[in-house]
Structure 1
Amino acid sequence: MSKYSSAIRPVPSRHRVSGKLLRAKKLGCSLMVMGLWGGARAYAQPDAVPVPPSSVEQGQTPLEEAFSGRPRRAQAAQAAVEAPPGTKFSLDFRTMYLGRQNYDGSETESLATGGWAGVKTDYFLDHFSFGATGYTSQKLHGDADEDGALLLGRGQHGYEVLGELYADVKIVEGLNLTVGRKEYDTPFINRNDSRMTPNTFEAISLMGGTKIGNKGASLRYGLGYVDSIKERNSDEFVSMSVDAGAEVERGVIAAGGLYKQGGFSLGALDYYCPDIVNIGFAEAKMEFNIREGFAPRLAVQFIDQRSVGDDLLLNPGDSGQQYGIKAELPVGQALFTAAYTNISGEMGMMSPWAGYPGYTSVQVEDFNRAGEAAWMLRAAYEFKEIQGLSTYALWVHGLAPDEPGKQARDEYNFNLQWNAPDGAFKGLSLRLRYALVDERAAATDELTDLRLICNYAISF
């Protein structure tokens, strides 16, 4: 769930809301034109690597991506291509509209354009590489009293920031030390790339991997210290503890590993922020190859969070746990998913430095309040008739949490996306996301959330 502004405004008329939806349709056409304009400036690209069907939500990071040494890109960027070995340049043009009617009837609306440009050098002397990336988001539309969409800076102002500036030292083959400002993707420290620009971090990290035996098993691992974060709609780096809500400055020590063999994987990560919070995350996955073309998948996860040290953020002794299970059934071009999560303990789950990794965390709500349990049903389909076109719809049924005054919720999501498959526009993605959240037995409005995204990612 995103951090939204809490400004309260009078309840708008239904006619005004309908007018905004009509305006959003016009903006959608503008997004396409802008994306094609950016695409027309691109040059030839290598072939894309196919992306397997997945139920991972935008802004989340699966554990198997945590120790790769390079961040997991958004779907649009995955459709773009990996450059050949050597110095690599990457460009990402993005235009995005977000319009939301909040529970209290107030409205949030922004339209922005921008993206990023980056470079990573080849390894000098086979050991030393350097990288830098600049990010920007510029206002196309957005009133100051409708702030909170997180597409722009505070007050609906544009921003520019050097979000990455780092050195990558290859100690030996398969073991790298990275120092400086950089994108990272782990379950609780990640890019959270669901707006205009991603989170980046000032950190030092050591990542490596090795093969085990001769049966295809592997072990990947990582250790790091993360000092500060640049939030996705900010041009400033702040202490990790300050970003979490504390008044003191503390960094985060993170360490973990992942074992994988065939369709089985087991991994864990721990995040320790002194005097603030300790977050433990573990996940196991299994793919069952019953026959060709029929391979169900099962995943389970466990999260533990608790106050530590001098308890400078949480109450002394506070702790909370989440248990989750997810089953996926690929059938031809379709993917059916069912998931369940349950929160226990004195506190709900927190995720100040990332998109929340729970299986029932979706477009708007995370369903991670204290005592909250949630079920999710999801169906996705990739069309054969129109190459690159895919869609999914989901429903999350959340039960009432323990906290007095908080209501049970249902969230419905619909997503339609087209990734240009071939030609000069490979790497272009057009996407529509819509969410409706209904607070059951609550005297508030339904929440609606509409997002239109045009993305063009290239590398050379």
Structure 2
Amino acid sequence: MSKYSSVSHRVPTRHNTCAVISPVRRLGYALMLVGLSVGTGAYAQPEAVSAPPSSVEQGQTPLEEAFSGRPRRAPAAQAAVGAPSGTKFNLDFRTMYLGRQNYDGSETESLATGGWAGVKTDYFLDHFSFGATGYTSQKLHGDPDKDAALLLGRGQHGYEVLGELYADVKIIEGLNLTVGRKEYDTPFINRNDSRMTPNTFEAISLMGGTKVGSKGASLRYGLGYVDSIKERNSDEFVSMSVDAGAEVERGVIAAGGLYKQGGFSLGALDYYCPDIVNIGFAEAKMEFAMGGGLTPRLAVQFIDQRSVGNDLLLNPGDSGQQYGIKAELPVGRALFTAAYTNISGDIGMMSPWAGYPGYTSVQVEDFNRAGEAAWMLRAAYEFKEIKGLSTYALWVHGSAPDATGKHARDEYNFNLQWSAPEGVFKGLSLRLRYALVDERAAASDDLTDLRLICNYLITF
């Protein structure tokens, strides 16, 4: 799924699977991915699930993950020698290939390797902690005339950047003030980590949480000012408004909260960028225990975007809304999902600082153009015979948008992923993602998008 909408000033970061790339060449790239990433690791720490946990797409941040940040403490036994007890180090080695054949027949193609290295100290004097992370992406293959995969910088050049450098002040237990460059995860300001390196932000934020009542309920909340963003394929921080497409510099004031009790949650966030745009987001989720091991889940969301102040990006009075509903049914090792979204108002939805959080936003298209409605069916499965192997396939059927000359689309995705469940390679994951987008009633070509990803995470 990509950050930019195909109808906005920013074209989604969709990478086009070069169907014209020879099978031999694709196989060679796949072998390179494995070789470059496996040779680096030692003591990896993993993520292997026994069943598909959700249908959230790579690059998105569900609301329940907002306001949490990274784990603030590591077990004392993992502390590095000479470092404060609980100091945590992360190394992430990543190699990725992206090839795409676009609607107009042009090609996009890149192969890169890199990742990041970071440290987060434990709290000095029980109140002050510091973090830093360096990121890099280096070119293995990429012709300048096939740029735009967003794995490398402009012109298919490698880059390195100090993307995180921050202070974390624990005011009281459960309430933290963070200042500096940092990764954040909320629906419309997040890492969008679906390429080589994530978005990071220069911001000041206050986040906390508390228990509510005696029945296990909790409330998490956050308030912050975000001044600038480092895009995932960039080594520079730019103003949030400039990144959105305006010619003036403005930051974003963000605030929201999330209430959760058992299988029910309700939350909302607001993002206000003066003279540029105001984005409101609300979502509710609930689970229904039906017996027989069946626990279906239902989620609904609402998004409102509108021009504000001096209207320096959108036209005066422009606004747009999205309504969405999603149902999930876990059955043993399978997860079945159905979703629907509808865009109304004057404009399509924009997501300038994150992956778009709509339920029908998938690998290539966001299905968020003005007047567009979309339906999604998805099935995922976690294999019992091969530990760590999972797959999913989905279909999104989108209607024609309001704009003349634009066409209805269908997108088909297939994903196959293996995460080493144990042993020396624990923390290693190999992933294949393929997408086909059919523009119905259009004279243009179909779009195809192939991604091969090898990731190795080490935490100590």
**Where do residues 166-205 of structure 1 align in structure 2 (5 Å cutoff)?**
166-205=166-205
AA at the equivalent of 1:351? S
| Residue matched to 2:318 | 318
Distance 1:159 1:187 in 2: 27
Q: 1:2, 1:364 within 8 Å by CA — same for their partners in 2?
A: no
Number of matched pairs: 442
Once the two structures are superposed, residues 305-338 of structure 1 have per-residue CA deviations (whole angstroms, 9 ceiling, x without a partner) of 0000000000000000000000000000000000
User: Hey, what's the Cα distance between the residues in 2 that align with 1:227 and 1:390?
Assistant: 39
Higher RCO (CA 8 Å, separation ≥ 6 residues): 2
1:30 to 27, 32, 55: 32
CA contact (8 A) 2:51 2:382 kept: no
From the superposition, tell whether residues 455 and 83 of structure 1 become closer, same or farther in structure 2 (CA, over 3 Å): farther
Pairwise CA distance, 1:43 = 2.6
* Residues 222-262 of structure 1: per-residue CA shift (max 9 Å, x gap): 00000000000000000000000000000000000000000
Shift of the alpha carbon at 1:83? 5.9
Written as runs of structure 1 = structure 2, the 5 A alignment for 1:39-58 is 39=41, 42-43=42-43, 45=45, 53-58=53-58
- What is the SS of the residue equivalent to 2:392? strand
Q: Would the aligned equivalents of 2:275 and 2:311 in 1 still touch at CA under 8 Å?
A: yes
Q: CA separation in 2, counterparts of 1:103 and 1:428?
A: 34
Q: Match for residue 82 of structure 2? A: none
C-alpha distance in 1, partners of 2:213/2:188? 31
Query: Deviation of residue 291 (structure 1)?
Result: 1.8
In the alignment, is the contact (CA less than 8 A) between 1:46 and 1:83 conserved in 2?
Answer: no
- Seen in structure 2, the aligned counterparts of structure 1 residues 413 and 151 have a Cα distance that, compared at 3 Å, is same
Matched residues in 2 for 1:178 and 1:25: separation?
45
Q: Please give the residue correspondences for 1:386-425 in structure 2 after superposition, counting only pairs within 5 Å.
A: 386-425=386-425
**Contact 2:307/2:315 (8 A) holds in 1:** yes
- Is 2:50–2:382's contact at 8 Å kept on the other side of the alignment? no
Partner of 1:74: none
Aligned-partner residue type, residue 189 of structure 1: I
Deviation at 1:23, TM superposition (A): 1.1
Secondary structure (helix, strand or coil) at the match of 2:424 reads: helix
Find out whether 1:428 has 2:428 as its counterpart. Answer: yes
Whole-angstrom distance in 1 between the partners of 2:19 and 2:340: 33
Same amino acid, percent of matched pairs? 85
Tell me if structure 1 keeps the 8 A contact 2:270–2:279.
Answer: yes
Report deviation, 1:382: 0.2
TM-score relative to the length of structure 1: 0.93
Could you report, residue by residue, the CA deviation over 1:65-85 in whole angstroms, capped at 9, with x for unpaired residues? 0011228xxxxxxxxxx9677
**Match in the other structure for 1:153:** 153
- Aligned ranges 1:216-235 → 2 under 5 Å: 216-235=216-235
Does the residue aligned with 1:451 lie in a helix, a strand or coil?
strand
**Whole-Å separation in 1 of the counterparts to 2:63 and 2:400:** 29
* CA RMSD between the two structures: 2.1
User: Could you tell me which amino acid in structure 1 is paired with residue 391 of structure 2?
Assistant: T
Alignment of 1:39-438 (within 5 A): 39=41, 42-43=42-43, 45=45, 53-70=53-70, 86-291=86-291, 293-438=293-438
In structure 2, the gaps of 5 or more residues are 12-17, 72-76, 80-84
Deviations 1:58-116 (A, max 9, x none): 00000000011228xxxxxxxxxx96770000000000000000000000000000000
The 3-state SS of whatever aligns with 1:35 is helix
1-structure distance, mates of 2:44, 2:362 = 35
Amino acid paired to 2:34: M
Amino acid across the alignment from 2:109:
E
Give, in angstroms, the shift of residue 45 of structure 1: 5.0
Q: How far did 1:17 drift?
A: 4.3
Contact 1:220/1:259, CA 8 A, preserved across alignment: yes
Q: Distance in 2 between the 1:354 and 1:19 partners?
A: 30
Task: For residue 425 of structure 1, give the secondary structure of its aligned residue in structure 2.
Answer: coil
Give, in whole Å, the separation in 2 of the partners of 1:365 and 1:179: 34
Residue 31 of structure 2 aligns with an amino acid whose one-letter code is C
Decide whether the 8 Å contact of 1:252 with 1:274 is kept in 2. Answer: yes
For the residues of structure 2 that align with 1:114 and 1:227, how far apart are their CA atoms? 27
Note closer, same or farther for the CA distance 1:45–1:456 as it changes in structure 2 (3 Å cut).
closer
1:439 equivalent in structure 2: 439
1:148-193 Cα offsets, whole Å, 9 max, x none, are 0000000000000000000000000000000000000000000000
Structure 1 runs of 4+ aligned residues shifted over 2 Å read 1-7, 16-22, 43-52, 82-85
Q: Distance in 2 between matches of 1:59 and 1:439?
A: 24
Distance 2:213 2:310 in 1: 45
Structure 1 residue ranges without an equivalent (≥5): 8-15, 72-81
Question: Could you tell me which amino acid in structure 2 is paired with residue 119 of structure 1?
Answer: V
> In the superposition, relative to structure 1, how do residues 227 and 51 fare at CA in structure 2: closer, same or farther (>3 Å)?
farther
Aligned match of 1:77: none
